[in-house]
Structure 1
Amino acid sequence: MRRKIGVQAVFIYLFFMIAVYCYLYFGGDSGIPEAFRGTSADPATFLNGRELMLSEEYSRIRNFLFFVSIPFEWLFLLLMLLGGLSQTFERWAAASSKSRILQTAIYVFWLSIITLIAAFPFKYIGYYLSKEYNISTQSFSSWMKDQITDFWLNFGLTFLLVSVLYWLIQKSQKRWWLYAWLLSVPFSFFMMFLQPVVIDPLYNDFYPLKDKKLETKILEMADKADIPADHVYEVNMAEKTNSLNAYVTGVGSNSRIVLWDTTLNRLEDDEILFIMAHEMAHYVEKHIYIGISGYLLLSLAGLWVIAKIMDHAVRKWGGILQVSSVRNISSLPLFLLVASILTFASAPLSNAVSRYQEARADSYAIKMTQDSQSAIGTFQELTRAGLSEVNPPYLVKLFRYSHPTMLERISALEQYDREKE
C-alpha cells in the first residue's frame, strides 16, 4: 500500500511539472495589453532587444523552479513518512541518548541534513541561473558560506521550536496548538527585534549611509513624516548581486531603513528619495504592525487546522505513514507537510494584502516627492536590474508577487500625472 501511494504521488508530481511547464511556456499571458503599448510601462520603451529576451527567459525559468520546488518538498516529506525514514531518525535519536532534549537535537539534525540534500539541487540551480543571467555576482565559496550559515541558523531555530512544540503536545494533545500560538506571539516580536542587529549582519555588512548629503535629504523627509529616524543604513550587496532593493526591517527602537549599495550606485538621488518615501509610508501607515497582526491571525487558524489534520491522519493512516502517535517526534514531517501546503494555499491572500499595502506606499511616495518621472525611472531600472517581468502571468502574480506588477505601478504613476493635470 505504501509503495502504491508513493508511486502515485511521484506520478502526480510529474504531471504537475508538465502542467506548470505548459502554462508558463504556452498558456500564461505575459504580454503587454494594447492600451499600454508605447507608454512608460511598455518594456520595449526602456529595455533593448537582448534585455527583453533575457527577461522573458529568466522569468520563465525562475517561475518554473518556484512552482515545482514547493510540491517537491511535499513529495519528499510524504516519501519520508511512507519509507519510514522519520521513524528511523527517531530510533537513532533514542538509541544515542536518554535525554529527551538531546534526542530532539539528534532527530532535528538528521532531518535538517536530509532536507538540505533534497533541496540543494533547486538552490544550486537558482544560484547558477542568477550567475548566468548576470543577476548574481557572488562567488561560489561566498554562496556556500551563506548556505552553511543558513543551515546552522535554521537548525538552531528548528531545534528550539520543535523542542517547545513537542513538549506542548506531550502536555496537552488537545490544546497544544493554542498554547503554541500564544508562545509564538512574543517570539515573533522578539525575532523581528533581533533580525536587524543579530541575524542580518551574519550575511552582510551594515553601516550608516556614507553619502551624508543624501542622508540629510532622507532625514528631512522623515522629519516631515514625523518618523523618529537618526540614521539610514546601507548594506554591502554589490559583491553578491546586481539587483536593487531597499526595505524596512525590525520593530520599535530596532527599526531600520536599509538601502542596498547597488541601489545607491545605479539610481539618481531623486529616484532614491522616491524609494525612501515609499519605505517611510510603511512606517506611517503602520504596515509592519498590520502585517504582524495578519500573520498571527493566519498562524492561529493554521495551527488549529494542522492539529485537526494531524489527529485525523494519524488515526486513519498512522500505519501507512509509520506514525503511531502525534506525540512522537517522527510525526514532525507530517506537521511540516501540512504547514507547507497551508502556507502555499494562503499565499494569494497574503500577497493580495501586501500588494495593496505596496500600492498605498507608492501613492504616499509620489504625493510626498511630487516627482513621477523619477518614480517611473526607478521602476524601469528595477525591472532592468532584476530582469523582471513587467506583466507576469496571472497565476505567477497570484502566488509570487507581494508587490504590484511593474505594469500596474508605472501605469498608476502615469494616471496620477493625468489626474494632476
Structure 2
Amino acid sequence: MAKVFLGFAAVFLVGLGAVGTARSEEPPRPAAVAAVDESEPVAVPEPSEKAMTFYRTGMGFWAFNRLWAIALPAVILFSGFSARIRNLAAWIGRSRSGTVAVYVVLYLFLTALIELPFDYYQGFVRLHAYGLSNQTLAKWAQDHALDLAVNTGVAVLIALGAYAFLRFDPRRWWLYMALASIPFLFLGVFVKPLWIDPLFNDFGPMHDKALERSILDLADRAGIASGRVFEVDKSVDTKAVNAYVTGFLGSKRIVLWDTLLKRLGEREVLFVMAHEMGHYVLGHVVRSIFLSFAVTLVGLYFVHRLAHRLIERHRGRFGFDDLRDVASVPLILVLLQVAVLGLSPAAMAYSRYQEHEADRFAIDLTGMNHSGGTAFVKLQQENLGNPRPGWVYKIFRASHPSIGDRIDFCNNHRRTTDGPATPDAGRPGPLAEPPHD
C-alpha cells in the first residue's frame, strides 16, 4: 500500500536504495581532459544488442507488473479473503486503529510472500544476468527485508490517516487525504536523506578533495550556499552509474554514486553536478509536490466515485458494505492502480520537462556541451540504455528525456547566460533513470 500510494502521490521522488557496506579500494577516476572543444558535437551511439534485449524484456516485465498490481488485490478482494484478514486483524488489534494497523501489516506480509519469486527474479537474477548487479544473495535479501519494513511503517501511517478521514467525513475524505499529502511529502523529503537512506547506503565525504572543491565552487556560481556533496558506495550493489539531489532545507544534499566517479571524467562530473544544482535553483521540489497533490486529488476522487458503486454491486463477494471498513484496502489499491495508469503520462511529462530544464541550466552555467553529451553516452552504455525508446516507454515510464534527445540538446543548445543564481529548494531527482523493469 505504501508503494502504491507514495508512487502515485510522489512519482518524482527517488526510490529507496540499498544497504551500504565497507568501501573497497577504488581505482583512480579518469583524469580530466586537458583541452576539450565544447562545441564539438557528440554522436548518439547505437545501443548494443544486450541493451536492446534488456529494453525489450523490461517492457514485458513492466506490462506484467502493471497487470499484476491490479490482479493480485482484485483476487484478494473478490475472493472475500480481505474480509477474513480483517476479522483476524480485529481479533488481534482490538481497537479500531489497532485493526487498521494489524490489517496493513498482515496484508503487506501476505502479498510480499506471494510476490517474492517475482521480486527475486527481476531484482536479483535478471540484473546479474545482464551484468548490472554486484549484490550477493544475502545482501539482496537484507535490502528486500529492510524495504518491506520501511514501506510497511509508512503504509500503516497512510492507512490510519485515510480511514480516520473516512470516518470523519465520508463525502470529502479524498480532499482531506490529498491536502494531508502535502506536509507528509515535505516531511518525507526532509527525513529520507537523514534517516531512511543511511539504512540502505553508506554515505560519506568525497575522496577526491580537488574535485569536491571544484563542485563547491560551481555551487557558489549557481547561487547555492552551504551545499553538501556526498559520495555513496553503490558499487557494492550495482555497476550502473547515477547521481541525484535529495532532501529539503537542512537535509538537502548532492549525492554521487562511486560508480559514476570511476567512469566519468572531471568535466563530465561537473556537468552532472550542474544539472543537479539546477534542480535546487529552479525550485523543483515545491513544484513537484504541489503537482503530486493535484494528481493525488484527482486519483482519490476517482476512488471515491467508483468504490461505492462497486461495493453496492459486489458487497456479498467483498464481505463488507462500507468503504470505511479496512477490508476495503485492496479495492482502494485496485482503483489507485487504474488511476495511476491514466494519470502517470501527465506526471511523467512534467518530470521530463523538469529534467530538460536542469539540462539547460547545466549548459548555461558551465558551457560544457560536449562534456554533457559524452556524460550521457557513458550513462547509456553503463546502464544498458536505449537512446530512442518507443512511444509506450516515453509516455508511461520515462521520467527523463531519452538519452538520444539529451545528447541532441547538448549538441544544439548554445549557452545564453552565465547561469541563473536564484537559490531555492531543489527537487530530489536522479540524473538518469536507473536500470529497472
| Alignment TM-score > 0.5, same fold | yes
Within the alignment, does 1:42 sit opposite 2:44 as a pair? yes
Within the alignment, does 1:92 sit opposite 2:94 as a pair? no
Within the alignment, does 1:301 sit opposite 2:303 as a pair? no
For 1:158-197, list aligned pairs within 5 A: 158-197=155-194
Residue 136 of structure 1 aligns to a residue whose secondary structure is coil
Within the alignment, does 1:141 sit opposite 2:138 as a pair? yes
Is the CA contact (8 Å cut-off) linking 1:310 and 1:335 kept in structure 2? yes
Aligned-pair CA distance for 1:320: 3.4
Residue in structure 2 matching 1:117, options 113, 116, 120: 113
Task: Report the counterpart of residue 74 of structure 1 in structure 2.
Answer: 70
Is the CA contact (8 Å cut-off) linking 1:135 and 1:386 kept in structure 2? yes
Within the alignment, does 1:348 sit opposite 2:345 as a pair? yes
Residues in 2 aligned to 1:363 and 1:168: alpha-carbon distance in whole angstroms: 43
Residues in 1 aligned to 2:376 and 2:167: alpha-carbon distance in whole angstroms: 52
Percent identical residues: 33
Residue in structure 2 matching 1:411, options 408, 412, 417: 408
Is the CA contact (8 Å cut-off) linking 1:69 and 1:122 kept in structure 2? no
Within the alignment, does 1:329 sit opposite 2:326 as a pair? yes
Task: Report the counterpart of residue 314 of structure 1 in structure 2.
Answer: 311
Is the CA contact (8 Å cut-off) linking 1:138 and 1:239 kept in structure 2? yes
Residues in 2 aligned to 1:229 and 1:271: alpha-carbon distance in whole angstroms: 22
> What value does the CA root-mean-square deviation take over the aligned residues?
1.8
Aligned-pair CA distance for 1:99: 2.3
Q: Deviations over 1:172-222 (max 9, x none)?
A: 211211222232221111111101001111100111222111111111111
Aligned-pair CA distance for 1:171: 2.1
Residues in 1 aligned to 2:367 and 2:180: alpha-carbon distance in whole angstroms: 45
Aligned-pair CA distance for 1:113: 1.4
Task: Report the counterpart of residue 383 of structure 1 in structure 2.
Answer: 380
Aligned-pair CA distance for 1:287: 1.4
Is the CA contact (8 Å cut-off) linking 1:41 and 1:407 kept in structure 2? no
Instruction: Indicate the larger mover: 102-111 or 67-76.
Output: 102-111
Aligned-pair CA distance for 1:419: 11
Aligned-pair CA distance for 1:40: 3.7
Residues in 1 aligned to 2:205 and 2:127: alpha-carbon distance in whole angstroms: 29
Task: Count how many residue pairs are aligned between Structure 1 and Structure 2.
Answer: 376
Task: Report the counterpart of residue 24 of structure 1 in structure 2.
Answer: none
Within the alignment, does 1:56 sit opposite 2:52 as a pair? yes
Is the CA contact (8 Å cut-off) linking 1:87 and 1:330 kept in structure 2? yes
Residues in 2 aligned to 1:417 and 1:182: alpha-carbon distance in whole angstroms: 41
Residues in 2 aligned to 1:240 and 1:97: alpha-carbon distance in whole angstroms: 38
Residue 324 of structure 2 aligns to a residue whose secondary structure is coil
Is the CA contact (8 Å cut-off) linking 1:306 and 1:339 kept in structure 2? yes
Residue 401 of structure 2 aligns to a residue whose secondary structure is coil
Residues in 2 aligned to 1:347 and 1:75: alpha-carbon distance in whole angstroms: 19
Residue in structure 2 matching 1:291, options 279, 288, 291: 288
Task: Report the counterpart of residue 249 of structure 1 in structure 2.
Answer: 246
Could you tell me which runs of 5 or more consecutive residues in structure 2 were left unpaired when the two chains were aligned. 1-40, 418-437
Q: Deviations over 1:52-90 (max 9, x none)?
A: 111011111112111111111101111111111101101
Inter-CA distance 92–223: structure 2 relative to 1 (3 Å threshold): same
Aligned-pair CA distance for 1:414: 1.5
Residue 247 of structure 1 aligns to a residue whose secondary structure is strand
Instruction: Indicate the larger mover: 379-388 or 337-346.
Output: 337-346
Task: Report the counterpart of residue 209 of structure 1 in structure 2.
Answer: 206
Residues in 2 aligned to 1:167 and 1:364: alpha-carbon distance in whole angstroms: 44
Residues in 1 aligned to 2:107 and 2:383: alpha-carbon distance in whole angstroms: 34
Aligned-pair CA distance for 1:100: 2.4
Is the CA contact (8 Å cut-off) linking 1:209 and 1:231 kept in structure 2? no
Task: Report the counterpart of residue 264 of structure 2 in structure 1.
Answer: 267
Aligned-pair CA distance for 1:41: 4.1
Within the alignment, does 1:281 sit opposite 2:278 as a pair? yes
Q: Deviations over 1:360-405 (max 9, x none)?
A: 1111111222122211110111011110101111101111111110
Provide TM-score, normalisation by structure 1.
Answer: 0.86
Inter-CA distance 75–216: structure 2 relative to 1 (3 Å threshold): same
Provide TM-score, normalisation by structure 2.
Answer: 0.83
Is the CA contact (8 Å cut-off) linking 1:247 and 1:259 kept in structure 2? yes
Structure 1 counterpart of 2:81, one-letter code: L
Is the CA contact (8 Å cut-off) linking 1:234 and 1:258 kept in structure 2? yes
Instruction: Indicate the larger mover: 97-106 or 222-231.
Output: 97-106
Residues in 2 aligned to 1:240 and 1:333: alpha-carbon distance in whole angstroms: 33
Greater gyration radius: 1
Structure 2 counterpart of 1:66, one-letter code: W
Task: Report the counterpart of residue 359 of structure 1 in structure 2.
Answer: 356
